[in-house]
Amino acid sequence: MYEEQQQVEATILYIHPSTKAISLSMLTHVTSRTVPQIGRLTVGCIIEEAKVWRIDQGQRVYVRLGDNLVGLAHAKSLSDQEVKDVSKEFKRGTTHRCRVVDLDLMDNVAIVTMKQSILKQQFLAYKDIVPGAVIQCQVRAIHSTGVSVKVTSHIKGFIPSMHLFDAALKHPEKKFKEGQKLKCRVLRVDPSKYKLLVTNKKSLVTSSLPILTSYDQAQPGMVTEGFIASVRDNGVLVVFYNDIKGWVPRSELSATHMEYPDKMFYVGQVVRCRVLSCQPEEERLKLSFQIAGMKRFGSKAVDVPEGFEVGKLVDCRVVKKSDKGLDVAVLPSEKQAFLPKMHLSDHLSNCDLLLASYQEGDIISEVMYLSSKTVLIVSKKLSLIQASKSDSLAKDFTSIKPGLLYPGVLKNRMSYGVFVNLTHDLIGLAPNKFISDHRVTDPPNLYTPGQSLVAKVTEVDEDKRRFLLSLRMSDCYHDNTDIGIGLLENYLEERAMIMQSIDKQKGSKLAVLHCGQVARVCITDVNDHGVLCQTNEGVKGFVTHEHMIGVRCQQGKVCDAVILEVDIQANCVAFSLNHDLLKAIKHRKDNKFSQVKIGQVLKSEVHLIREEFVLVSLKGHAAGRMAYVPAKKHLNDCFEKRQFSVGQINHVVIKKVENVLLASLQIHEDKAQDQNKASVVKEHNLKPGMKVTAVVRAVHEFQLNLAVGPLEAPGRVYISEVADEHKEGISPLASYKSGMEVTVKVIGFRDGKTHKYLPISHPNFTKTIPECTLKKSKLAIKGFCEGEEISRTYKVGDSIQAFVHSYSNHCLWMQVDPVVRGVVYILNMSEDQQVLNNPSHHFKPGGSYTVTVLDASDPHKLELSMLGDKTPITPGAIVRGLVLAVHPSSGLVVQLSDRYRGRVSLTDLADKFVDNPVDRYRENKMIKACVLACDEKDKCVLSLRKSRLHQGSICKIKDPELLSMDEVKTGQVLRGFVNNCSDKGVFLSLGRDITGRIQYSHLSHYYIKEPKKVFFIGKVVTAKVISVDYSSKQMELSCLEKDTGATENVPKSLVSNKRVAKDSGRTMKKKKVINDKEIKVDKQKKAKKHKLEKSVKRSSRTLDKGLVEELDSGVDVSKDSGSDTETIKSVKKSTPVSRLQVSSGFVWNNTFTLPKKTSQAQDSDSDDSEDEQQPAPKKSKREKLEDRKQEEKMLYQTEQELLQHQREPQSVDDFDRLVLQSSDSSLVWLKYMAFHLATTEIEKARAVAERALKSISFREEQEKLNVWVAYMNLENMYGTPETLQAVFDRAVQQNEALKVFQQLIDVYVKSEKIEQAEQLYSTMVRRFSLKKDVWISFARFYFKNNQAESARKLLQRSLKSLDKRDHVEVISKIAQMEFKFGEPERGKTMFENILSSYPKRTDLWSVYIDMMVKLDDKEAVRQLFERVTHQTLSAKRMKFFFKKYMDFEKKYGDEASVDIVRQKAIDYVEIRTGAAET
């Protein structure tokens, strides 16, 4: 086969390192580097007939496997028994059955075995096993995590604990023994790591459902089985074979809502599920447990104890503890239940600690049955337990009535509100507007899921079985301070129990520490946040900066500290190094003189503020004692703690003295007492529907005060319940007088404390205020019927009776019933112009009118009309309107009746155009207009032309209407209004939507210096149509005299050189000559510039390096400036110059807007450029010499003006020079910023502001503040909220904070950012809570923005924070605001209350009288004067009031009334003189 010296191709296999012998291979597949033929076989395959080919040295047998494939069997692989003579038993040519166990690809040989034991094996290697296959295996060993098994001698597997059995096994060693044979199913196999996981769950092994081993196999609708790997609140994770995972959302777990999925499912549970969707490329599989024909999870009735009832209290024993709560056994039935972690306490901060403190076997007393829907749930929340004891839990939907209060638990938060569970699975929605009394950005996040709340039912929809709730403090809390004390007491008791439990379990060092104790500490670290320290016992603690004021701390220092709080969760202590507190505690004496008693009022200082409590130290005889003040007045309270600050001094009332001292703020106690006094109502036996006799006690504008029944219970009849029929404009109360007896019918009740209406289903009316009616229609009905309620629901189109309350801001406010108010806008009041001119004179308070409901979107505030139903406005109708806005460039915006709004363009104001046509109109003026068009959005196009308003009469029309662009023809001469003047030309409004442009080359025969002064907005201009593009609706106009025939009325002072006319008939040769002349003129200009520079240098003057090329923009600078290409730059002066005196400041609250660019203006650039290239006429030598003289003269004049400050700076260099001369003048810096803003260079304006803040001296505080205000204005108009906040924060740090706050509020208000201003005011009243001016300013802001109710609530807040000495002034100021912006009657009441307490405050009397004078109630003013002049005051003060009384009568009275006042003054003097003599 081979010969010597024959050349062959071989591949080097290796080189022996010692002998250096080279091993080669000449096999074809090796030399050619191809896959050998043996590669077609697979390991594990069985060859039925393998023919013995050769026996090698009696040890190895080579066999033919077919197709030229060779196999090799080693001696040990020939049989299970020992083969003594291989050549005899395996003769050449004999056939045998063998199995491939390996492949030798290098030698192209298959390694085979003929052992019967291996031939019988199901699997030979790990890769032979596929997921989902059923296999036989044998137990090898039992471990804590599972059982190890073997499939073959060299294939091992493992069964995890969860897969040992269908149910969980606590003792697997009792069920499994070594050597035991099992039938299992393969879960997952990893041949590369030789890992095999199997399951012994019979439900999986014997399952006949499809096996899922890849995501591609999953098809929607497919039903298969898997096991649960994880249970979460939002769903369940299911695992199949080959580690295929699927997710079951919470909504697909069961047909019913499942609140606690972990109680229904467990890890390892075999479940049958249905495929909803699958995304193989993303390995996402969505499943469902809801399968047709299969019993669903949670459908089985819960096994409840005998006598189960929601709200029942039982005892239980802890069985198991998990992260989500406690598994308990109800005693004595031992039924299983679940106590969720969030139901361990009303205080969520205690729930984790309580969960950790409970151990298996602990007995928990008094837990309440909460639910048994899918799992038996119990609760330990004290609020629910107390409600159960008092039988005030919600029982079913029929018990839910508006006005009732129920305890509940927050279930879920949404963007539009929160859902509250009121027990018995009654879940209601609290919308965002009913979550809090305060304005917050994200109301739902005020509360946390699981938090205990009290909710008031506001609305019930019986058809949909839904109800709305309110969580507002004003609805749920009625100044009962015992609620807050009870919450705090419960919190501290739970903390004490937790500490005892932890001490019993772990022996914590914290257990021996308590609040107010003095401990010796060593400071271990000092950082930016405070001090870290450690006690002698090794307890770590910290001290914040606010608790170490005036104390120097160094690392290693040992000192005494007061324990403020023992933080169990963080395992540390909060200390205080306050010297005064330490001294007071160390010198405290425990004797009868230092005892603290309930009800005592003591001064206190705040030391620590937490979510649930505020820690204070007491002053006076109780100095050295610590007390707790509630940080929450109520379960719903989120804002009480915000009024506290460390170091704040308050007066508190002691409420509890056992164990720890509990106290309440005195202002809360005083308010509660006042509320209790006001709410004292006589008991009565009145019921709804009863007819009784009542006596009229007082007649007011809107109600009759009554003494009802034989017990004379205080009640009332509201004006809407007096009569069935009313006379228009007459008050139904006019015929009633005090002392009259009337027969009334009780139709409702109000709560004695809150004065809010109670539902008819309320269980107890004995201490409530009856609401009555005098209507004959209701008196005729026996008993109480539906429809007799105090208020009802109104719909659009309803015709109802309403009563005038007041008139303000062009609105007539009316009272429909005690709950619902209405507003009538001025255009819906009357069609009589005289009535509209003075509505307050025609509509008196209390007057009754029939009105129609136009809008009822707000059930408590209706929009009404006295003109009947809303009638559509049609084109051609003549209507009345109220001018809302006047725009010089566009026209008028007009408010019409029935919510319609219209627009009047400049060309529709009159038949004859005049300059500035809108000057004749002002805002809030009544006008008549003709409707031209109206769209579906109630927006109309109006006209004020006489020809439109009086279509039947003959009117002279000088400027006819242009209705569309199609009416415009080239060559037509028209008149129009200037609506814009920009660099592109002057734009003329010729019709409502018809605009044309006049290029500057067609504006005048002369160059105009300042076009905007000549062609101001609103000017009437005559123009000729040059061209019209109907497709793009653009037209070019000309107002040259030769085109229009009209004389150009341009002041001579604003024009310069005459323009050179074009000659389109020139030849190309002449054009070339013109171009040559242009080049020559440019050279002459350059030479002129060079000479000018030399002359300026000789006179020590400098020129601006920037050159401005003269363009044909309509502005000529050639003659006045002395050069065609230059602008003058001002020069520095070597001698000192005084500070610049600027005549006027820059108005920062005017928003800067760029002129609008139109496509027409942009397209005109090329046209303008043609005009600009016209050559100037050649000048003679004499003219050139004259030009030079003029240039020199202009230079000199400019320099003199700059030096003498007669010229406004016009460039950056001008301003730089001025700020160098007057660096401390804020006005100069503001002008500089305004200069940049005028060119929209915002960043440069910011840079100027930063320079100003660095340059102005620190002594010039007001100047710096001016710059800060301008900087904030700049960021407000052109920046972002973040940049504005950054500037504001810096300004607060470097200026008096209160001034900066007030300035930013002014910025917000002027820019109409009301919401931001309100948020900033809220921050101010917290930060400057002791400043009365801040509260007054905030209230004025509310009143001016029609938020009177918010201002009234603000008054109550201010009285809690301010000293009592400031209360009178604050109440007085807000009472004045009530007169100006709110309800004068309320203002009267406030002044009367103040004067009853301070009758000798003449300043209050004077202000009260002035307010009443402005109210135009002369008799009431005279009564006030009579009262004040009968007070016992000093002679000087009495002289003041008599003089004021006299002036009043001279102005509003007659001679007789003046004489009466004069006589009273004389009598007073005589009495005073006589008393002095005696």
Q: Give pLDDT tens digits for 1406-1416.
A: 888 888 888 87
**How crowded is the C-beta side of 574, counted as CA atoms within 13 Å?**
17
Can you tell me the distance from the alpha carbon of 791 to that of 781, in angstroms, rounded to the nearest whole number? 18
Greatest CA span in the chain, whole angstroms?
166
Can you tell me the distance from the alpha carbon of 1412 to that of 1420, in angstroms, rounded to the nearest whole number? 7
**Sequence-separated (6 or more) residues with CB below 8 Å from residue 217:** 210
Q: What is the pLDDT of residue 1069?
A: 40
Name the E strands within 833-925. Answer: 848-858, 861-865, 878-887, 891-895, 901-905
CA distances (Å), origin 286, targets 274, 298, 589, 967: 9, 20, 72, 66
Q: What is the pLDDT of residue 445?
A: 87
Can you tell me the distance from the alpha carbon of 202 to that of 953, in angstroms, rounded to the nearest whole number? 102
Residues of the chain under the 70 pLDDT cut: 1, 58, 293, 295-301, 674-682, 752-767, 786-789, 870, 937, 952, 1052-1179, 1181, 1195-1208, 1474-1478
Q: What is the pLDDT of residue 1102?
A: 33
Tokens representing residue 1044 in the block: 């229009």
> Do residues 52 and 90 touch, judged by C-beta distance below 8 A?
yes
For 530, other C-beta atoms within 10 Å of its C-beta total 18
Angle among Cα 671, 683, 787 to the nearest 5 degrees reads 95
**Sequence-separated (6 or more) residues with CB below 8 Å from residue 498:** 350, 353, 354, 357, 568
CA distances (Å), origin 764, targets 426, 688, 876, 910, 1199: 24, 11, 62, 70, 92
> Do residues 866 and 829 touch, judged by C-beta distance below 8 A?
yes
For 271, other C-beta atoms within 10 Å of its C-beta total 17
- pTM passes above 0.75: no
Q: What is the pLDDT of residue 1241?
A: 82
DSSP-derived 3-state class of residue 396: coil
Can you tell me the distance from the alpha carbon of 146 to that of 173, in angstroms, rounded to the nearest whole number? 10
Q: What is the DSSP letter of 712?
A: T
Can you tell me the distance from the alpha carbon of 60 to that of 73, in angstroms, rounded to the nearest whole number? 6
**Sequence-separated (6 or more) residues with CB below 8 Å from residue 64:** 50, 51, 53, 70, 71
Q: What is the pLDDT of residue 470?
A: 93
**How crowded is the C-beta side of 221, counted as CA atoms within 13 Å?**
0
Calculate helix-pair angle for 348-357, 481-506, nearest 10 degrees. Answer: 30
Per residue in 34-54, pLDDT (tens digit) is 888 888 888 888 888 898 988
Q: What is the pLDDT of residue 1128?
A: 29
